[in-house]
Amino acid sequence: MCGIFFSLSTAGPVLPTEETSNLLRQRGPDSFRVHNVHQDIQIYDSKGDGQILKTIPAHLTFISTVLSLRGDHVHAQPLVDKESQSVLCWNGEAWKVAGEPVQDNDTELIFQLFLQAAKPSSASEDAVQRLADLISSISGPFSFVFYDAFSSKLFFSRDCLGRRSLLHGTDENGSLKLCSLCNGTSSTVFEEVDTNGVHMIDLTVPGTATAHNIQTLPWSNDKELPANHLKNPIPPMSKSVPNSNPSLTIESDVVGGLEQKLCQSLELRIKNVPDQGQGQDATKVAVLFSGGLDCTLLARLSHEILPSNETIDLLNVAFENPRVAAAAARSKETSTESVYESCPDRVTGRSAFAELQRVCPDRKWRLVAVDVPYTETISHRDRIKRLMRPHNTEMDLSIACALYFASRGQGTAYEGEEAFPYTTPSRVLLSGLGADELFAGYGRHGVAFNRNGYQGLIDEVHLDVSRLGKRNLGRDDRILCTWGREARYPFLDEEFVSWVLQTPIWEKCGFGMADSEIPESEKGLDAEKKALRLVALKLGMEKVSREKKRAIQFGSRTAKMEKGRTKGTDALS
């Protein structure tokens, strides 16, 4: 995980604000480096009715901070090629390139591959197409800024699923800025870099001092790839419907295949995580843990992959919500249970924790109960709003609060009968995000099926998958990584997503199944995400397989803390 800042200015070098620099350092505490490039560019200077072409100096400023999680030492960025003076700021995890796993540091490898693609060649395709082909072959989350000094072109992008944050904006002087965070207090200047392709500025093409000609090399699913396009790693979704009553049981081939594919995705993300000098039995992996199906399944499968001496931390967050507390007081409830222990996600978290201990008794599981008093929520709220910009709604804030405190990983740890103050040392956080979109896990998926059958369900799931890259992963990245930790999403691995999308809809969820076709031991499982529920059941997680879907802001009680009549879409004041 890294922090990126870049500026292109004709008015002198432009640096981030001190506040932004500090936030970037929190994302990447292991290294901070600045690199400047000066290049003459041609601009049109309008005078009267005519335009005069003149040459002026442009200033390219590159800044990277680094959270080192790959290789045996810190690879400080930006990376600069001595020969060409090309520059790379890379914030990502290239798990595979052209289908081959990346064993050591991915940043060094990606930079060398970028340089090979950019270098002038006698090959028929030009450097831009070679770069497009290379980026198409990278599997994993990323955002980057790459200056190709061979041809004086600037490239910047996020992966097609938008798993890493990168914002862009132009200030009052016309300077272009790219940053992992909003640079400053205003959110009106910055917006998310679109995930529709790789964006390019050709600095040899004349422009104006305040406008930059940004071209986009789009993702494409065409079999015959058009020039200067990228091959989309995510294929079109299967839209076939069953010819007869479908059957999905624990014995179905798709259940075994799903477990295997999810393990493969998970293995890339949790094996060989550095121990940061804390010893071989250090806690290297933590799970953002509500006790629900998706996150508990990741925890259970992690047990199959990690060495038995490694503890797995389960980060479970619960909030003091004054409205809930007041309602309880008005009803004169006499329960001595704390406001935290009564939170829905704490209840399911403890239940799933107990089930993991029972099913995997040789693993040391550590439940970290993150209790957040209302006063602490208020004291951190401005910082959370700052981090989540340009997002600015009540729902954004509710979700961001839960992610912010959960990823801090500070609370009371429970191991068996022991309880003690604790902050997780893990720099890797696992998230179950993506499962609901891929496996029809939302209540509206059932509504769509009831209205229009399989075709309605397919349309609704297709809509969710098609807008994954435009949803809120950039916001989540800005929130989760502020504690110097990296969120990893096994359900959003390109190969896993591709496999799921090409699997027929009736093999992913249980809508339309006749009750007589369901084995007795599997009755009562919800139709939403049924394939995942069957994997959990197969792995001994009986209670977890039957857990209902619940939004994080309601499970942790961050929603509607002050006013009950607010809507999630309401803008913050």
Give the tokens for residue 36: 């400047």
Number of domains in the chain: 2
pTM of the model: 0.94
pLDDT tens per residue, range 68-116: 998 778 889 999 999 999 999 999 999 999 999 998 889 999 999 999 9
DSSP 143-175: EEEEEETTTTEEEEEE-TT--S--EEEE-TT--
Q: What is the mean pLDDT of residues 480-498?
A: 97
- If asked whether residues 194 and 332 sit together in one domain, one would say no
Helices 374-388, 18-27: inter-axial angle, 10-degree rounding: 100
pLDDT tens per residue, range 243-299: 888 889 999 999 999 999 999 999 999 998 988 766 656 799 999 999 999 999 999
pLDDT tens per residue, range 432-480: 999 999 999 999 999 999 999 999 999 999 999 998 888 889 999 999 9
The boundaries of the domain holding residue 145 are 2-231
- If asked whether residues 204 and 317 sit together in one domain, one would say no
Instruction: Indicate the SS3 state at residue 420.
Output: strand
Which position among 2, 179, 481, 509 bears the catalytic label?
Answer: 2
Looking at residue 527, the DSSP 8-state letter turns out to be S
In a domain, residue 285? The reply is yes
Looking at residue 573, what is its pLDDT? 73
pLDDT tens per residue, range 372-396: 999 999 999 999 999 999 999 999 9
Contact 435, 428 (CB under 8 A): no
- If asked whether residues 226 and 306 sit together in one domain, one would say no
pLDDT tens per residue, range 511-569: 988 887 788 888 889 999 999 999 999 999 999 999 988 888 887 888 777 676 677 67
- If asked whether residues 257 and 183 sit together in one domain, one would say no
Q: How far is 93 from 71, CA to CA, in rounded Å? A: 12
- If asked whether residues 365 and 407 sit together in one domain, one would say yes
Looking at residue 81, what is its pLDDT? 97
Residue 241's alpha-carbon distances to 234, 237, 454, 458, 515, in angstroms, are 21, 12, 6, 9, 19
Chain length of the chain? 573
Q: At 519, which CATH number?
A: 3.40.50.620
- If asked whether residues 184 and 267 sit together in one domain, one would say no
Q: Catalytic site residue 2? A: yes
Confidence at 183, pLDDT banded by 50, 70, 90: confident
In a domain, residue 485? The reply is yes
In a domain, residue 570? The reply is no
In a domain, residue 243? The reply is no
Looking at residue 49, what is its pLDDT? 59
Q: At 178, which CATH number?
A: 3.60.20.10
In a domain, residue 105? The reply is yes
Contact 273, 285 (CB under 8 A): yes
In a domain, residue 566? The reply is no
- If asked whether residues 224 and 273 sit together in one domain, one would say no
- If asked whether residues 118 and 218 sit together in one domain, one would say yes
Q: Is the pLDDT of residue 334 over 60?
A: no
Cis amide prior to 274 (ω within 30 degrees) = no
In a domain, residue 244? The reply is no
Looking at residue 291, the DSSP 8-state letter turns out to be S
Cis amide prior to 78 (ω within 30 degrees) = yes
- If asked whether residues 427 and 540 sit together in one domain, one would say yes
Q: How far is 36 from 43, CA to CA, in rounded Å? A: 21
Distance of CA 459 to the CA centre of its chain: 24
In a domain, residue 572? The reply is no
- If asked whether residues 432 and 341 sit together in one domain, one would say yes
- If asked whether residues 224 and 281 sit together in one domain, one would say no
Residue type, 121: S
- If asked whether residues 210 and 314 sit together in one domain, one would say no
